[in-house]
Structure 1
Amino acid sequence: MQQDITVQELLRLHQERELTLVDVRSPGEFKEFTIPGSLNIPLFDDRERAEIGTTYKQVSIEAAKQRGLEIVSAKLPAFIREFQALGPNKAVFCWRGGMRSRTSATLLSLMGIRAYRLTGGIRAYRQWVLQTLESFELKPKVVVIAGHTGTGKSLILRKLAERGYPVLDLERMAGHRGSIFGQIGLAPNNQKMFESLLVHELLRYQDRPFVLMEAESRRIGRAVMPNFLAEAKTSGIPIRIEAPLEERIRHIVQEYRPQEHADACLAAFRQIRRRLHTPVAAQIERHLLDHEFEEAARLLLEYYYDPRYEHAEERYTTEPIRLRVRHTDEAVQRIEQELKRLF
């Protein structure tokens, strides 16, 4: 009842919602990088994996196999129950399509549970991601949502996505908001995970007339967008959002929740403190220490973010469409009007 399956077949069935993907690697490996939409039912936890690896290197292959068998035997009933709770069609994978996924598929088969095994494991999937991105030709026109810090660009994109518009939410894929404070309250993804999330979204929207994205720099936290996407952004249609200062301050405090992450906000600020005039930097730090976050945000916008934006604002091949709005809901409505006019 075990059957090997290629990356392309696996992704097609998963997209058609006919297959549940199960990563049987350790939780640490899963956290670092996996196939989007996968569940983690590890054959070995992080400690057990390390123990088996040490045994493999310091004793022998056979000793490592024997220890692995002892560990699996003890947890087999719970392992099987987790798979029984899933839908009828499942596929398991490990790093190379080797011992862990083969063992998992065999055990499931013995219990009458059908499971595909990904040929080549997640390494083969990673090769597919790299090859796809390397040869990718983006067909939709890119519409770039730009604007000063605090204009709610990410929230605007999320609201447009909820209304069915094609959105590349790069900050969500990166797990980072793109600024020195961007990691606060989030779990940044590495380049592998970012590219995995990105490639599926690109393929999803390849036949749409346009796709929306934020005016990000190439580096977003730990991730870097591919050259073709950066070039498509520069030659895209920019829509610049202009919002009142008080609305921007309100949005920043709502988005970053500094009252819940006061220490992280202070630590992030101290990384850029030297770039500010000393008296202003001292004021901002005092506001952060006193939990006066609105005032800290106001000074950061006035003396740090706004001047840097004006100096480094990206140049596009077409003149930006400027939308002066009072809040993000109005921005969404105005952008919808522009999209209808353009497409």
Structure 2
Amino acid sequence: MKKVTLLATALAMVTGSALAADLPVKAVKAPPPPAFDPWDVAFGGGIMSDYIFRGITQSNHKPSVTAYFEPRYNVTKDLQLYVGVSGESISFPNRAAAEIDVYGGIRPTFGAFAFDIGVWGYLYPGGSCFFGGNGVDFAGNFQGADCASQALINGNVIKKDLSFFEVYGKMTYTVNDNWAFGVNEYYTPSYLNSGAWGNYTSITGKYIAPSTIFGSSGVGMYVSGEFGRQWLGTSDSFYGTQTFPNGIKYADYNTWNIGIGFTYKVFTLDLRYSDTDLSKGNCNAFTSDFAARGNIAVNQGTSLTPINPSGVGSNWCGAAGIAKLSFDLTAMTNLK
């Protein structure tokens, strides 16, 4: 009898375990995916030994500081809208000491192709007009008493307001994790408010070294370069000469740069060489360089060109080396 009882107990235990195994187990709910936040903000700043823009110094070959702030709205993972404001310290002939940029656009992505289309405004507050003489240009237009009251010592003239805007389109093709190439196009109806239209086109290339190049230090490296051409139209009479009283046809020019950069977390150190093929005379006619030297009496044959009858020459468009230390952050990536 005792054996029968033990057998019944064992059978009940086995049957109960089997029934328990057959009972449905309530699944644990997975946590909901994080809500998609379309907003983001990028910002940063830096210091550079020379502020070079399309091969021409904007800071008289002196150091410059820069900063930017850019709110972004991601419509989808492949479509971004953005606006931004940035600033750089400069040294212009009209004594403007700051460049303030206001811009906005759209950045669509199609696979390996990334596009950027927008409008960029360049503002130069704090400028003064330098014309001298009686304030009347060679076309007979009076430029104002304020222009007549001030003159640059080398005879160059410059407007009070140099602000202008450009529309632009950029395309970048990312080959792989190491290589990327791009094409850029910018157009303005009045470059530096000179009355001359401007069109800038460039091609770019960038090589990003493998992340293991410096071991586990977290330091990255890249090499990049750009070749561009700036086409320019004819200025208004403010910049006219005796030969061209209604304005001068600025010289088109090529510009190029190549450099190496090192990255660590949000910091970048960029070392770059930049140059153009503008002569010193045509550079002076284009920039109205307040630091240009020489005159027609002692400098004939060196910087004298059809659009630069004064003969003074500028080194603002020549070879330059630039070292830039910057930081860049995005709120969604760096501040979480």
Whether the TM-score (by the shorter chain) exceeds 0.5 is: no
> Which structure shows the higher helix fraction?
1
Instruction: Give TM-score, length-normalised by structure 1.
Output: 0.19
Please tell me whether Structure 1 or Structure 2 has the larger radius of gyration of its CA atoms. 2
Q: Work out which structure has the larger RCO, using CA pairs closer than 8 Å and 6 or more positions apart in sequence.
A: 1
Structure ranking higher in strand proportion: 2
